[in-house]
Amino acid sequence: MILQLNPLLEGLQAARKAAGDAIKPGDEVTMDDQGDHWIFEFIPQGDVLGGGARVLISKSDFRILKVIHSQ
């Protein structure tokens, strides 16, 4: 049995790991609930154009569906 205290938080952690170097700890994060998956958007802070990433992740098993880098 796997105890999931907070699925959304676990999903976010998996998304952060998948995005890797494309994101930074202080990035703003938004989440879009798409039913069977979440879309996490990591947006750099400050007056910068570009950077960050969008990660699509399955709710059921935290499988990474897609990582799209922003520019």
Q: Name the residues that contact another protein, by CB under 8 A.
A: 22, 30, 41, 43-44, 46-52, 54, 66-71
Q: Is 46 helix (H, G, I), strand (E, B) or coil?
A: coil
Distance of closest approach, residue 35 Cβ to another protein, in angstroms: 22
Toward another protein, which CB reaches closer, 58 or 70?
70
Toward another protein, which CB reaches closer, 59 or 69?
69
Distance of closest approach, residue 50 Cβ to another protein, in angstroms: 3
Distance of closest approach, residue 55 Cβ to another protein, in angstroms: 11
Residues 6+ apart with CB under 8 A from 27: 42, 43, 44, 45, 52
Instruction: Answer whether 8's CB lies under 8 Å from 31's CB.
Output: yes
Q: Which one-letter DSSP state was computed for residue 22?
A: G
